[in-house]
């Protein structure tokens, strides 16, 4: 059964409505002040509610997700997901970056896994359900795009992420 964009957006808004906003000193992993991209992200997101993140901000900070601290990643992820739901074709690489940041590394060990797990383990059940609904919709978008060409997707880009978030719920 297909899930609608409106249903996914509603789930995201409801699930992340009470997610705590990180302090302005806890937005990016590089706190040194030496990384210009991190400084730019802090400047843009400082004091910003995730519901107030504009499409222009998403475009400008399309690569911000991996630079956020786990708390900031959790807090601002819904803005990126809603942007992808509404404007997946108009957001440059935001769509791909969001999917990438929700997909675990193949190896469940090492620094990449530790980095991913520090983010993934903090989401509560409602937030995880919203993430899964988002991934279902993204999968529909991908399949529809390929179907317009009369083909099946060349690879399952969403499956590994969806499987991880489903498995995470089963373990809890």
DSSP 44-108: HHTT--GGG--HHHHHHTTT-GGGB-HHHHHHHHHHHHHHHHHHTTTSTTHHHHHHHHTSPPSSS
Question: Rounded to an integer, what is the distance from CA 41 to the centroid of its chain?
Answer: 16
- Give the residue, 172 or 81, on which the prediction is more confident: 81
* pLDDT of res. 91: 58
CB within 8 Å of 58: residues ≥ 6 apart: 79, 80, 83, 91, 94
pTM value is: 0.91
Q: Cα angle vertex 88, ends 149, 71, to 5°?
A: 140
28 strand-pairing partners:
68
pLDDT above 80: residue 143 = no
* pLDDT of res. 154: 67
Task: Report residue 66's pLDDT band, with 50, 70 and 90 as the boundaries.
Answer: very high
Q: CA 136 to CA 145: how far, in whole Å?
A: 14
- Give the residue, 79 or 34, on which the prediction is more confident: 79
SS3 content of the chain, % helix, strand, coil (to 5): 65, 0, 35
**How many other CB atoms are there within 10 angstroms of residue 66's CB atom?**
13
Percentage of the chain modeled with pLDDT above 70: 88
Q: What total number of domains does the chain contain?
A: 1
Is the distance from CB of 17 to CB of 79 less than 8 angstroms? no
Tokens at 103, concatenated: 């997909």
Could you give the dihedral angle defined by the CA atoms of residues 160, 123, 59 and 38, in that order, rounded to the nearest 10 degrees? Answer: -110
Domain that holds residue 79: 5-171
């Amino acid at each position: 059964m297909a899930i609608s964009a409106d249903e996914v957006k509603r789930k995201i808004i409801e699930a992340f409505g009470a997610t705590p906003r990180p302090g302005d000193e806890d937005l990016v992993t590089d706190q040194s002040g030496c990384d210009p991209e991190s400084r730019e992200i802090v400047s843009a997101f400082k004091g910003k509610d995730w519901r107030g993140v504009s499409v222009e901000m998403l475009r400008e900070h399309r690569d911000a997700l991996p630079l956020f601290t786990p708390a900031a990643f959790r807090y601002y992820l819904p803005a990126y997901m809603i942007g992808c739901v509404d404007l997946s074709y108009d957001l440059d690489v935001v769509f791909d970056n969001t999917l990438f940041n929700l997909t675990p590394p193949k190896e469940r060990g090492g620094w990449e896994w530790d980095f991913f797990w520090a983010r993934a383990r903090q989401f509560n059940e409602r937030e995880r359900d919203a993430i899964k609904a988002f991934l279902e919709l993204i999968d529909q978008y991908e399949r529809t795009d390929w179907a317009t060409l009369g083909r099946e997707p060349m690879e399952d880009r969403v499956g590994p992420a969806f499987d991880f978030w489903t498995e995470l719920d089963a373990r809890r």
